[in-house]
Amino acid sequence: MQQHVTLKIDGVRVQAVKGSSVLDAALSAGICIPHLCYVPVLRDSGACRLCIVEVVNDGRTKITASCTLNAEEGMAILSNTERIRKLRKNIAELLVAQAPNSRAVQDIAVRCGVKEVRYPFRNDNCIQCGRCVRYCSEYSKADAIGFVGRGKDRHVEFAFGFRRDLCKKCGFCTEYCPMSVTPCGGSMKAGEGRLCGNCDSQIASLEHFSGICFRCELGKGFKCTRQ
Amino acid sequence: MRKLKKSSDLESLRKRLLAARRRIRSTIVICGGTGCQASKSPEVIAAIRAELAKQGMERQVHVRATGCHGFCEQGPLLVIEPGNLFYCQVKAGDAKEIVARTVKKGDVIERLLYTDPVSGRKVRTEAEIPFYQAQDRRLLGRNRSVDPCAIEDYIAAGGYSALAKTLAGIKPEKVIAEIKASGLRGRGGAGFPTGRKWAECAEEPGDEKYVVCNADEGDPGAYMDRCLLEANPHLILEGMMIGAWAIGASAGYIYVRKEYPLAVRHARIAVEQAREFGLLGGNILGSPFSFDVEIARGGGAFVCGESTALMASLEGKVGEPRAKDIHTVKDGLWHKPTALNNVETWANVPAIILDGARRFAAKGTKDSKGTKIFALTGQVKNTGLVEVAMGTSLKDIVFNIGGGAKNGRAVKAVQTGGPSGGCLPVDRFDLPVDFDTLSEAGAMMGSGGMVVMDEGTCMVDVAKYFLGFLQDESCGKCVPCRVGVDRLLEIVTDITEGRGRREQIDLLKDLADTISVASLCALGKTAPNPVLSTLRYFPEEYIAHVDHKKCPAGVCKALIRYSIETDKCNGCGSCLRACPHGAIYSGKKKVHVIDDKECQKCGICVAECKFAAITVN
């Protein structure tokens, strides 16, 4: 039989399967913690850091990503404090400045409250969330693509740069890529620093949510499809 | 060699070794550490050996090539025992004279002695040199008595007696209690209490556990761990064995970066010798304890010094950190409980067991016990490895031991803790150096790098240098570190190149805060420190760059201009000839003029001009 733990997320008592992550627990309870690199069927990676939360323990708080944090009995989690919203906004701003024309990334940025981008835009085609890489190795068991290089040079590549033959052509890498979800034809031109905020929720269409929704504060300012 | 089967075997071997030593007339100790190797100590060692052979003295006089003695600035170093006569900056050509005069006749060669820069007096022994006087060399001091490639030297110097003592009857809980009582904290940077780490690891169920020695030191300017492993590898092995006994591990790894070839070689030789003597392997010294160590070479990634990335690398995976919400003492190498400690931490263990926690804790401050090794580098007179009691002030280290800045300049700041550390200005030099004080001041103990900067250093440029290093070395997994540090660098570069705006300073602070809180691992979390600490202590320099487009230290090329003062220039033409860019031409009255368009701001003309006629502004 599955064991359960009870924890509190933003004051709401939530039951979660033992061993599941805090993000899993929150999403299944309808608490919408923004996330990007997380995919329910894949192992967590903690790369995008959008799903950060505050863990309150004996009056002391620690900030960490909720996708890599195991849900434990009696845990107290705050996912939507002012501090967290600010940090999340800054991270989303970094992301949208790297990939201004991905509708999914714009959507996340708007959802996290980004209105203005303080950095010059770069038109990278990849934000290195690693969804494709993890899907390829964990689900398709192909290991055809992986990360190569370090820091700024890190990129997704076939093995040794040429082993395309390992690819099973399942196509899930592109399907799970936030960049390939409806490229934005909207207002994000180079040199423009404002997000229109008119995006439909793109990422949400990729995820499995429970039927319940608290219509959280996070939805304000963008059209959450579930409001 | 016969294996040591019980601890009395070790004792009788030690007695035999010491008896054999007494038959030697004298020993010439020559530093063969990396620093002295760079100043050609292998040539000195070969020349001395050849000279002794020529004189037929190789049986009476023993040559010991050791690891680092610390005073790298004055290398190659040579000490003659007994008497501890200290020669510095020895050259191969001096070998004949040293053997003929000093070894044979006992004469002192004045020119090879160290000159005290303050009194101008020649001094004969280490003990009289200010650089050594202000130190407390509990770990480094042992280097001189040990040839790192000879386990016999280590045993003769009392080595492996802490292990023998442990195996003879100190229970694991007792070992951990002793380490806890000593107050030893991890020397790798974070300063986590070692005893607590071991206790948590020992409490974990299962009999497959590991100990790991982190020798992946990568901070620019830091070489403490390198020298310890090069100079006294058995000390680290002994520490690891005691740790393994305490937590119940039977396998250990030394993860050392491949850029340290000497450390790798010495560690490998040490492991082989320890196996040969039965100090590694099954039933060590007749006890039920079995333990072996493997050497793993790192591939040169800075991030692999982070414990989880190091373990991933050991497992053969890409060296990327993972979230540490579950500690490595529970879920470490191959998902087994693992106690990972830094080289210097392991090196401190044998003495704690042998001499007791109280003796170790007698030095240091309330929460930081013992001594700490620092690599004193940068624009300081006496560069080298320095070991001081915790709580020694920065002033003592930089001025008393380091001798202050070079070339008559003033010291401006010191950068502690490597790229993740911070810059402390000279008016904070009263601070005692310990884990907590440095963190509070916005710097970090780190593994012990200490880079001294003089007044010719631009602090914005320093921040840019470290950001560049970190951006290069970030694994790139998480957004705040990969993208955030890159953006920090972009902004700081803007500032140094004259494109800075006031609001960018606030953006720097805001972004730095995000990176330091939201990053995945400690590399990212500490990456903004160089920016934050320079912003905190040298805000006026940022303002000068941003508002006035000036670099006060005259470093940032885009913001400086070279010009020749007409009243000082006598038209000698030396700058004109030296300029590699042809940017200087001679005017009508023979006073030279610099063409701003052609000038590449290399500074060669300034060094060339004997009349100080060229100024930077």
What are the chain A neighbours of B482 within 8 Å (beta carbons)?
128, 151-152, 154
The pLDDT assigned to A213 comes to 62
The pLDDT assigned to A219 comes to 56
Q: How far is B477 from chain A (nearest CA, A)?
A: 5
Is pLDDT above 90 for A104? no
The pLDDT assigned to B408 comes to 86
The pLDDT assigned to A110 comes to 81
Among B303, B470, B517, which would you mutate to test the A interface (most chain A Cβ atoms within 10 Å of its Cβ)?
Answer: B517
**Residue B343 vs residues B233, B237, B255, B348: alpha-carbon distances, Å:** 9, 10, 10, 9
With residue B465 as reference, give the H or E element that holds it. helix B459-473
Q: What is the CATH number of domain A4-84+206-219?
A: 3.10.20.740
Minimum mean pLDDT among A151-155, A190-194, B81-85, B304-308: which range?
A190-194
The whole-number average pLDDT for the span A143-159 is 90
Contact B483/A at CB under 8 A = yes
**Residue B342 vs residues B189, B256, B298, B339, B582: alpha-carbon distances, Å:** 9, 11, 15, 10, 52
The pLDDT assigned to A192 comes to 65
Name the CATH superfamily housing domain B145-361.
NADH-ubiquinone oxidoreductase 51kDa subunit (3.40.50.11540)
Per the CB < 8 Å rule, is B475 touching A49? no
Size of interface A-B (CB pairs under 8 A): 96
Is pLDDT above 90 for B181? yes
The whole-number average pLDDT for the span B230-259 is 96
Residue that the structure tokens 């404002």 belong to = A194
Chain A residues 160-199 with a CB less than 8 Å from chain B: none
Minimum mean pLDDT among B74-78, B521-525, B543-547, B585-589: which range?
B585-589
Is pLDDT above 50 for B480? yes
CA distance B141 to B79: 13
Tell me the pLDDT tens digit for each residue of A26-67. 888 888 888 888 888 888 889 999 999 999 988 889 999 999
b (16+ CB within 10 A) / e for B414-441: bbbbbbbbbbbbbebbebbbbbebbbeb
Q: What is the CATH number of domain B371-454?
A: 3.10.20.600
Per the CB < 8 Å rule, is A90 touching B325? no
**What are φ and ψ of residue A78, in 5° steps?**
-120, 120
**Residue B32 vs residues A172, A225, B48, B114, B144: alpha-carbon distances, Å:** 57, 70, 13, 19, 10
Q: Report the residue from A52, A118, A152 with minimal CB separation from B507.
A: A118
The pLDDT assigned to A220 comes to 52
Tell me the pLDDT tens digit for each residue of B400-442. 999 999 888 999 999 998 888 899 999 999 999 999 999 899 8
Q: What percent of chain A has pLDDT over 90?
A: 39
Tell me the pLDDT tens digit for each residue of A122-131. 877 789 999 9
Q: Among B225, B143, B229, which residue's Cα sits nearest to residue B188?
A: B225
Q: What percent of chain A has pLDDT over 70?
A: 81
CA distance A18 to B214: 34
Contact B478/A at CB under 8 A = yes
Is pLDDT above 70 for A217? no
Interface ipTM: 0.91
CATH for the B17-128 domain, from 3.40.50.300, 3.40.47.10, 2.60.40.1930, 3.40.30.10: 3.40.30.10
Tell me the pLDDT tens digit for each residue of B586-617. 866 678 889 888 899 888 998 888 888 888 87
Residue that the structure tokens 């805060």 belong to = B513
Contact B300/A at CB under 8 A = no
Q: Could you state, in order of their start, the residue ranges of all structural domains in chain A?
A: 4-84+206-219, 131-168
Contact A64/B at CB under 8 A = yes
The pLDDT assigned to A185 comes to 67
Among A20, A49, A63, A114, which would you mutate to test the B interface (most chain B Cβ atoms within 10 Å of its Cβ)?
Answer: A49
Burial (CB count <10 Å: 0-12, 13-18, 19+), residue B380 = buried
CA distance B179 to B150: 28
Q: Among A75, A73, A45, which residue's Cα sits nearest to residue A62?
A: A75
What are the chain A neighbours of B500 within 8 Å (beta carbons)?
none
Contact A81/B at CB under 8 A = no
Q: Report the residue from A48, A65, A94 with minimal CB separation from B323.
A: A65
Q: Does domain B459-547 have CATH number 3.40.1030.10?
A: no
Q: What is the residue-averaged pLDDT of chain A?
A: 83
CA angle B72, B78, B79 (to 5 degrees): 120
The pLDDT assigned to A145 comes to 93
The residue of chain A nearest to residue B519, with distances taken between CA atoms, is A49
Other Cβ atoms less than 10 A from the Cβ of B493: the count is 17
Residue B541: pLDDT band by 50, 70, 90 thresholds?
very high
The residue of chain A nearest to residue B504, with distances taken between CA atoms, is A118
Structure tokens at B199: 């206790």
What are the chain B neighbours of A47 within 8 Å (beta carbons)?
477-479, 520
Chain A residues 102-121 with a CB less than 8 Å from chain B: 118-120
The pLDDT assigned to B587 comes to 66
Report yes or no: B174 and B190 within 8 Å, Cβ to Cβ: no
CA angle B15, B13, B239 (to 5 degrees): 105
Query: Dihedral through CA B364, CA B367, CA B373, CA B379, nearest 10?
Result: -100
CA distance B72 to A30: 63
Q: Could you state, in order of their start, the residue ranges of all structural domains in chain B?
A: 17-128, 145-361, 371-454, 459-547, 561-616
Per the CB < 8 Å rule, is A151 touching B478? no
**What are φ and ψ of residue B389, in 5° steps?**
-65, 145
pTM of the predicted structure, to 2 decimals: 0.92
Give CA B397 to chain center in angstroms. Answer: 14
Beta-carbon contacts of B23 under 8 Å, excluding residues fewer than 6 positions away, are: none
The pLDDT assigned to B454 comes to 94
Is pLDDT above 80 for B502? yes
Contact A211/B at CB under 8 A = no
Residue A190: pLDDT band by 50, 70, 90 thresholds?
low
CA atoms within 13 A on the CB side of A40: 13
The whole-number average pLDDT for the span B551-580 is 89
Q: What is the residue-averaged pLDDT of chain B?
A: 93
Per the CB < 8 Å rule, is B490 touching A65? no
What are the chain B neighbours of A68 within 8 Å (beta carbons)?
322-323, 325
Contact B316/A at CB under 8 A = no
Is pLDDT above 80 for B494? yes
The pLDDT assigned to A135 comes to 92
Is pLDDT above 80 for A200? no
Treating both helix axes as pointing N-terminal to C-terminal, what angle do B459-473 and B539-547 enclose, rounded to 10 degrees?
90
Residue A227: pLDDT band by 50, 70, 90 thresholds?
very low
Structure tokens at B237: 């092995």
Residue B358: pLDDT band by 50, 70, 90 thresholds?
very high
**Residue B33 vs residues A22, A47, B523: alpha-carbon distances, Å:** 51, 41, 29
Q: What is the CATH number of domain B561-616?
A: 3.30.70.20
Partners of B164 in the β-ladder: none
Beta-carbon contacts of B8 under 8 Å, excluding residues fewer than 6 positions away, are: none
Q: How far is B482 from chain A (nearest CA, A)?
A: 6
Contact B518/A at CB under 8 A = yes
Report yes or no: B74 and B130 within 8 Å, Cβ to Cβ: no
Structure tokens at B116: 């005290």
Contact B4/A at CB under 8 A = no
The residue of chain B nearest to residue A87, with distances taken between CA atoms, is B514
Q: What percent of chain B has pLDDT over 70?
A: 99
Q: How far is B322 from chain A (nearest CA, A)?
A: 8
Per the CB < 8 Å rule, is A153 touching B514? no
Report yes or no: B396 and B110 within 8 Å, Cβ to Cβ: no
